[in-house]
Each structure stands twice: as structure tokens, then as C-alpha cells.
Chains A and B, each alone.
Chain A
Amino acid sequence: MSDQNKPDNPLLGGIRIQRTAEPCSVFLFGASGDLARRKLVPALFSLWQKNLLPPGFSVIGNARTELSDDAFRDVMRKALSEFDADQQISESAWQSFAQGLFYVAGATQDDGTFQRLESVLKKIEAERHTGGNRIYYLSTPPSLYDPIIDQLAKFKLNKHETGWVRIVIEKPFGRDLESARALNKKLTGLFEEDAIFRVDHYLGKDTVQNIMVLRFANGIFEPIWNRRYVDYVQITAAESIGVESRAGYYEESGALRDMIQNHMLQLLAMVAMDPPVSLEANAVRNEKVRVMRAIRPINESEVNDRAMRGQYGPGIVNGKTVVGYRQEPGVNPESATETYASVKFEIDNWRWSDVPFYVRSGKRLPKRVSEIAIKFKRVPHLLFGRSATTEIEQNELVLRIQPDEGVTLRFNAKVPDPRGIPETRIREVNMDFLYGSSFATGFPEAYERLLMDAMLGDETLFARGDMVEVGWQLVQPILNVWGSQKPEFPNYEAGSWGPEAADELLARDGHQWRRP
């Protein structure tokens, strides 16, 4: 039953909690993986402790390793202590939660695994009264998506007579436009679109959700949020770490697939979209897709002018000497995988015509920072004296996603001169909003929000199929060109802000990258 059709519960009125999810089972493929242990199970237990999960809530883990239910519970309990040290764990709450943890061992290509899965699900549904509501969470390497979906279909587990069935898929959703389309086609052949939840964990971040609040809950920003006042926009997601233990995945992926195609384009869409008519999931996503469709396609002949790639060599990060990408464990010594990508996008609509959106993401940059900077146009007429005007900077609004979460408005102010000299000197100053000084609480874990939304059937913070395909359409020409040209890597030092070519991308337009 959809949320809208539920009869009102008069006892819920005014209670300052989120809604409790309906009883359901979550079948977790890839239960022994990093994501399950570091994020998913700690997030589910945190929701349980907050009383947001229903009685009977169950998790069935699956991986190849043979484990009993009890052994699986022990593994997850240890993971909680290891990876979620901040969470206060009530042992009796854990015991109560652990009663709902089960395990089915076996390879996902193996029919026996799904026969056992089916029988465990039926048993749980009878004993724990989950009403046939199921979520299949694919927390596996992407190569297993196809076989798992095929097996779910083969055993008719994609539908249930009485309950709802949903599927949650982690990134990467495909590795190019063709594979993303094929995956979408396969999924939509078996599940309704509103039962498919494509995770983009950036959207679960509070500070990303604040972009909507900042834009649409305040009257002062929207009137200047257009080409008349905005000169250009920069979106940055920088990491100081290297590939760490993800070389296997990253070698096949690279910065463009890993960050730009999904997270960065989602951020761009949130900044550039028109106001949705409501906060209903499709109303919001319609607007995002609409603006993404308005992004001017980059022809293959333009790629080298509008997209830059880089790969880090050895260098110094945070005071420590680090190896280059090609020397990282598990990386091909002649790897052509980019660890840095920057792209200039332009949006062909009335609001954003001629306003470039520069996006960049990279590893082994000097610091970890994600931010959106909106640079406003210069004042139309310089009123102040020559000495003053040379110092005048453009106004800038910076939305800091992480760390130092907050919003900064940079503007110009008169420098006081105690000598009383009648010359106006002007300097840039900051007006800061810091989450830390206004809301002393920390941020909720993005996965708690996303898991809760999946259980409640709210897709607002998940990518829709057409959105994913538009993302791939936009980067596909870049992938094609980069795939056919041998790069001169490494081309930036670890600890620097990326390759020089990326600076030229902006310099041609008379701009430069921020140094956050």
C-alpha cells in the first residue's frame, strides 16, 4: 500500500520522530563486504535503537562464506564496535535486533542459494510477520548485479502477492551509457520504477539537502540565481587519500565514472534546477532531469577543450611522502586510469545560458573538501577610486558540503583607516554560517536516511533511471575520447591541486579554480 493511501494514524500527530517503516525483510547481498559492515548494518542498528524500525524487522545476509546465523550475528556485532565507535550500543537492544539477523550462504549464480533464500524468506515472513515486504540490497561488485537480478526473476522473487518488493542498487550503475541502459532495461522489466532505488550516497548528506532549503526556503537567493547575476559556478569534490584498498574497482572506473557522472552531476542539478512544484519524489526528480537534459552535449571534437584528466604521481600529502598512483598496490604500473577529472558544462536554458559550470574531482589533492562556489558578476559600474577598484573582488557564495559544513558569503567592505586619509580602501570579508556554531549536533549518517527512505518507499533522494542515463550521455563522449587517446600520466604531483591543463580550462575563460 502506498504511503498516501494509508489511513491516518491520529496518534502520530505532533510526534517528533520520523515515521516507522512497515515490517519488512532486507536481503543483503554482499553481506561480508566493506559497505555492509562499515555502513549498512551500523545504520540499520542505529535506526533500530531510535525505534524507527518495526517489530519483526529482519535482515538476511548473503555471501559465499559458510556461516551460521549466530556466527553472522557475531561478525556484525564486531563490525559495529569496529566501524561505528560513536554509536552508543545498548546490549539488550542489540540482542533484540540480532534476533532478526539471519544468513544464507552461497554464490549468487547458484540456484541452491536462491532456493534457500526463498525458504528462509517464507519462514521469516510467517514467524516474524513481515507481511511479504522485501528489500533486496545489492551491495556487491557490479559484475554480480546481472546474475542476481536474473536469479531473482528466475525464482519469481521480484514480486509478492501481499507485500511490496523493492531493490536497492549501489553505484556504479553501469560503466557506460550502453551498460547503464541495459541494466535499466533489465530492472524495469522486473520491477516497477518506483520499486528501484539507485543509491547516490551524496544525496543522503544533510548539507546536500540543505541546498534545496537554502534556495527554496529563503527569499533572497532565488531572484539572483540566474545568468543576470551569476558569472560562473565551481563544484569541487577533492580527496586527500589515494585509492587505498579499492584499486581493483578504481582501475576499471576512474574519476569521471566514480564521481563526475553521478555525484557531481547530481550536485550540479541541485544548484541549477528550477523550483519543483512540490517535494514529492518525482516532482523533485523531474526538475533535476529537466536541467540535466538542458546541459549542452559535449561533442567528441570538443572533449580536449572542455574536459581535463590527470593522474597523480609521487608527492607529499599532509606532510607525508606518498607514492604515485601507478605505484599503489593492485594498480597497473602503466595505468591510464584518471584520478582527476574536470569538466566545463554549459546549460542551454533561459536561466543559465552563458554561465559555465566547472566541476572537478580528484584524489591525492591537498585536502578533503566538497563545495559549491557561486561566483557573482562584477558590479556594472566602478564607483570608487582607482586604488580602491583594483582590489574589488567578485561576490561569492560558497556552500561547503564537507568539512567545515556551512555557507559563506564573500563581499567587499571598506577598510577602516584610523589615520583618516580620505581614500576608500576596499577588502573582501566573509559572512559565515557554520553548522557547528548554529546547530551543535553532528550530522546523521547518510545511509540511515537512505535506508529509511527505501523502507518508507520515498525515492526523492535516489537517482531515477532516466537521470542515470542522462548522466552517462553527458560523459560518454569524454569516455570515448579518453579511451582512444593515450594520456601522458602522471601529470600532477600528489598534494597539488591537479594538472596544469585543468587550470587552463578556466584560464581560457578568464577564471581560476578556487583554493578551498
Chain B
Amino acid sequence: MEISDIERPRRVDLGAIERELREIRRQSGADSDHPAVRASLLSLVAVVAPNERDVVSDLAADVALHHPSRTILLVIDPDAAADEVTAEVSARCQLSFGMRKQVCSEQIIIVASGKSAGELHVLVSPLVTSDLPAVLWWRASRWPEPRSFKLLADASTRVILDSAILSHSVRDIRRLQELIRGLKSLPVADLAWARLTPWRAALAGFYDVPAYRPDLDGLNRIVVEYSAAGVDGAASEQGSASTAPGVLLLVGWLASRLGWKPQRASGDDKAVWTIDFTGNAGDVQLTLSVQPDANHSDSAPGTSILRAELGKDSGGIKGSSVFSIRLKEGCLETTATIDGEQRGGRVVPCENRSETDLLREELDMLGRDVIYEEALSMAAKIADLMAKA
């Protein structure tokens, strides 16, 4: 597709960014067939490594088509010897639904290397659009340097990160929780958590049926199976849940919502972990089981989860219930077994939601996600027990 003048990135002096953007706006209004309107509902500040720059630039442009925004892409290379900052500006335009005008969003790319990469907040603050939400999206896989991160976050109204990209060991869940705790009451979104939504919705949906609701209080046997590969498909350390933060977040969510207290973790070969909880109605045993032979593509996109089963054993068939969800050909297949009798299940598509989709969804929410924070806190406690075992 031919790229228009205003969509072609132009290099500018740092002090001339706003002036250059005004010029782009003037040019964009001159298209008589499809005059353009500048639209901005928020500022999206994305932090990214140099090798991901083009991917994230395109991704941010896609997101901006759905959430018209000013994107400020911060490409950081703190390990570089040279201490340098450069900037480029461009606009991305589209014909939006139901409209005859083009909607244009602005993109500013700032490349900071060496020491400057740690002082980005100074550059960002004047560029954030006044009176609109500013969202900090930490897309880099390197852990943020706490001071720099805090200063960037202070200029933001919400932070988005992806624990699936950041977590490299089981201890990283605790590190993540500490990082988020340092942001005090600033709303935080985690794309690894967003990937769990279909699983959480399906599990919660079982117990929204009034007849099954009492079984929720009697849950005592939980099984989660997952593939050994990480979110990016790379092989993880054998038998570890560490590269699957989604697994820990899922069980952290269950435990925090149902008021379970983690007691101990054991896992001899670390391919199968057993976590014991004390629940309101007795003991609960959770089994985390790695399926080393599972193809990562068999698991739910981005979560590594293959199957989740919630069971209430009552010592006999009568009074027992098992709700199970597993992946089958890209769909979630749910089954329910009540008093030993299998009830009608269903199959729902588990669409492969891209990073753009997840980010778009997160940008719809501007408040705190307390349920996530509690799930993360519980996941960190479970991870601590696993690390000690």
C-alpha cells in the first residue's frame, strides 16, 4: 500500500516535535477526497528494545486505529556506549467505520541510548497530551530499572506490562508483585492476566448456575495441566511453572477468590507440583502438572494451559462434582460431571487474541483491577513456596 507523506516518518529535533506535528496536521487536512481529523483519546507511551522497534511501532499503530491516540515509542538501549537521543514523527490515518473522514493518530519515536535511556521521563512529560489519560506500556523484556520506571509511571495514569514476557523464573512473580506494589494505587494491567479471561469466564460460568453454586464452597481437588513451553513458544526449564506465569495467576485467582491459604508445596521431579491449601470447608489439594510432550500450539494462546479441572470429592459418587475445561482444536471444551453423571458440555471458540487485541481491551479499562492484584499476591505466595521446596 502506498504510504502518504504524513505517514512517512520524518526525523526532527527534540525541540521541534510539536511544531512538526502541527505541520503534519495541516497537510492531512488538505486531502479534499478524505479530509483528515486528528483524534486522540489518550497518550500511549511504549517502552521497547531496539530489535522490537518496528514490530511494536506497527502494533501501536494498529492499536491507535481502535483507540485514537498519540503514541510515544521509547526505544531504549541503555547498554550502548554512545549517549544519544533522536526523534521521529509521523501520522497514521484510516477511514473509520461509519465515517467519511480519515482519522489520524500521531506517532513519535524517541531512540535513547546509553545514560539517556534512564532519563526518559524528562522527554516524555512535555509530549503527553494534556487532560487525557497517559498509559505506560512496558513492552521491553528487560526488567525496568526501578527509579526510571517509577518516574515514568508517575507521569502516567495506568501501566500495562506482560508478565509472560518479563518472567524468566518462578521468583519473578514475587519481583513483579514488588514492582507493582511500588506503584502504590496506580492501575496496572498484565497481558498475561488478560489471556486468562476465557478460562476464568468458563470456570466462573459453571458456578453461575444456581444448582451448582454450592459446589464451589466444597471444592477440594484442583488439577491444572500445562505445556512446558513459554508464552513465546521457547522451551522452558524442564518441569518448571516459571515461564508460565499465567498458570500461577490462574491458581492464584482461584485461591484468592475462594479464600484458600497456601500451606506447602512439594514436587520431587518438578514435573508435578502439589500445593496444599486450607480452605473454608477443609483442605484443598492443587496439582500442577507439566505435559512435556505437549505441543505448545496445543495450549491456549499465550497461557501454556492445557486443561483445568475443579473437583468436589464427597467420598462417594453422590454429591461429587467435577467441572473440566480443556483445549480441543483451538476451542475450549467444557464438561460437567454431577453425581457421576456427565452433563451436556459445550465448545466455545478460544480465539487466538493477538497482542493488539489484548492491548486494545486493556485500553478500554482505566481503573484498578483489584482481582488481579489479589491473584498476583496469592500467586507470589505460591511461587515462594515452590521456590523453597
Contacts and interface: CB of A to CB of B under 8 A. Distances in A.
A48 B369 contact: no
Interface string B228-257: 000000000000000000000000001001
A463 to B, nearest CB: 28
Q: Chain B CB within 10 Å — which of A11, A48, A96, A434 has the most?
A: A11
Interface residues of A, number: 49
A10 B258 contact: yes
A127 B348 CA distance: 20
B281 interface: no
A437 B330 CA distance: 33
B202 A437 contact: no
Nearest to B328: A92
A11 B204 contact: yes
B316 interface: no
A14 B328 CA distance: 26
A54 B257 contact: no
Interface string B207-223: 11111011010000000
Contacts of B203: 11
B96 A436 contact: yes
Interface string B344-380: 1111110100000000010001000111100000000
Interface stretch (A18-26, A304-312, A490-498): A18-26
B45 to A, nearest CB: 20
B205 interface: yes
Given A13-B257, A22-B210, A55 B204 contact: no
Interface in A106-158: 127-129, 131
A442 B370 CA distance: 29
A222 interface: no
Interface in A313-369: none
A258 interface: no
A127 B101 CA distance: 54
Nearest to A7: B213
Given A9-B207, A22-B210, A438 B202 contact: no
What interface size band does chain B fall in? 35 or more
Contacts, number: 130
Nearest to A13: B371
Nearest to B38: A437
A378 B380 CA distance: 63
Contacts of A50: 348
B213 A440 contact: no
B371 to A, nearest CB: 3
Given A403-B98, A440-B66, A96 B207 contact: no
A14 B97 CA distance: 30
B348 A129 contact: no
A9 B96 contact: no
B216 A9 contact: yes
B348 A22 contact: no
A435 interface: yes
B347 A93 contact: yes
Main SS at interface, chain B:
mixed
A213 interface: no
Interface string B309-341: 000000000000000000011111010100000
Contacts of A440: 65-68, 96-97
B361 A20 contact: no
A404 B211 contact: no
A404 B204 contact: no
Nearest to B95: A436
Given A15-B200, A51-B202, A129-B343, A434 B210 contact: no
Contacts of B345: 55, 96
A92 B347 contact: yes
A420 B344 CA distance: 78
B201 interface: yes
A55 B344 contact: yes
Contacts of B258: 10-11
A9 B212 CA distance: 10
Given A11-B207, A437-B37, A437-B39, A128 B344 contact: yes
Nearest to A1: B210
B209 A434 contact: no
Given A93-B347, A403-B98, A12 B197 contact: no
Contacts of B365: 16
B98 A129 contact: no
A17 B37 CA distance: 33
A509 to B, nearest CB: 33
A370 B336 CA distance: 47
A218 interface: no
Interface in B149-200: 197-198, 200
A55 B257 contact: no
Nearest to B67: A440
Nearest to B334: A55
A152 B17 CA distance: 71
Given A16-B361, A436-B98, A51 B205 contact: yes
Nearest to A405: B98
A129 B344 contact: yes
Contacts of B16: none
Contacts of B68: 437-438, 440
Contacts of B334: 55
Contacts of A57: 346
A155 B372 CA distance: 51
B34 to A, nearest CB: 13
Contacts of B210: 1, 6-7, 22
B98 A90 contact: no
Given A9-B216, A49-B349, 12 more contacts: A11-B207, A12-B208, A16-B361, A20-B208, A54-B209, A90-B349, A92-B329, A93-B349, A97-B346, A129-B343, A436-B96, A437-B39
Minimum-distance CB pairs A-B, first 10? A14-B371, A11-B204, A96-B347, A440-B66, A436-B96, A90-B349, A436-B99, A51-B348, A56-B344, A20-B205
Interface of B: 37, 39, 41, 65-68, 96-99, 101, 103, 197-198, 200-205, 207-211, 213-214, 216, 254, 257-258, 328-332, 334, 336, 343-349, 351, 361, 365, 369-372
19 contacts: A7-B213, A9-B204, A10-B257, A11-B203, A15-B197, A49-B348, A54-B208, A55-B344, A55-B346, A90-B330, A96-B347, A96-B348, A100-B344, A131-B211, A436-B103, A437-B103, A438-B41, A440-B97, A441-B66
